[in-house]
Amino acid sequence: MVGELLHEIMRVIDVPAFDFDHDSTAKRLSAFIDDGIYDGFVAFDDAKAIGFATVYQSHSLYGNGAYGTIPELFVRPSHRSRGIGKQLLAALAGNAAGRGWTMLEVTTPPLPSFDRTLSFYERSGFEITGGRKLKLKL
């Protein structure tokens, strides 16, 4: 599903913003989970995975220390608008509270193409606090 998420973003923005390889991504996820630096939650419809969300610990002065960053949250298009994303956010929030984090932070894909995504997070209690996410490849 990570590939589906990244390909959807790239299709909508028409920019090859991500390098995705299934096998290396699966290995990286496994290592992140084994090292305890990444938590993941998967939503199922019967035995079929229909959505997922991940979170990792971040630190900052503005965040009052440790908090959670949500790098990925995805629900397959055929299952959207059914409360799956909200359930995944609830799992992330419960995980964050259990870790003693004071907040969760998320960045949406580029707007206005993903205004609906922004609206979802705002309806879920998130507030806009900053500008755009930027990256520098090293």
> Residue 63's domain is classified under what CATH number?
3.40.630.30
Is 7 within a domain?
no
Q: Is residue 135 part of a domain?
A: no
Residue 115 in any domain: the answer is yes
Kindly state whether residue 17 falls inside one of the protein's structural domains: no
Our count of domains for the chain comes to 1
Starting at the earlier edge strand, list the strands of the sheet with 65-75.
39-45, 48-60, 65-75, 104-106
pLDDT tens readout for residues 63-88: 889 999 999 999 999 999 999 999 99
Share of residues in the chain with pLDDT > 90 (%): 85
pTM of the entire predicted model: 0.92
Specify the pLDDT at position 9.
Answer: 94
- Does the residue 111 lie in any domain? yes
pLDDT band at 111 (very low <50, low <70, confident <90, very high): confident
Query: Is 133 domain-assigned?
Result: no
Residues 6+ apart with CB under 8 A from 87: 43
Q: Band the pLDDT of 134: cuts 50, 70, 90.
A: confident
Helix (H, G, I), strand (E, B) or coil at 55: strand
Q: Over 90: is that where the pLDDT of 133 sits?
A: no
Q: Is residue 75 part of a domain?
A: yes
Tell me what pLDDT residue 137 has. Answer: 80
Q: How far apart are CA 84 and CA 82, in angstroms?
A: 6
Give pLDDT tens digits for 32-61: 999 999 999 999 999 999 999 999 999 999
Domain span at residue 42?
A: 37-123
pLDDT over 80 at 28, yes or no: yes
Q: Are 56 and 39 in contact (CB under 8 A)?
A: yes
Task: Give residue 2's pLDDT.
Answer: 95
Domain assignment present for 134: no
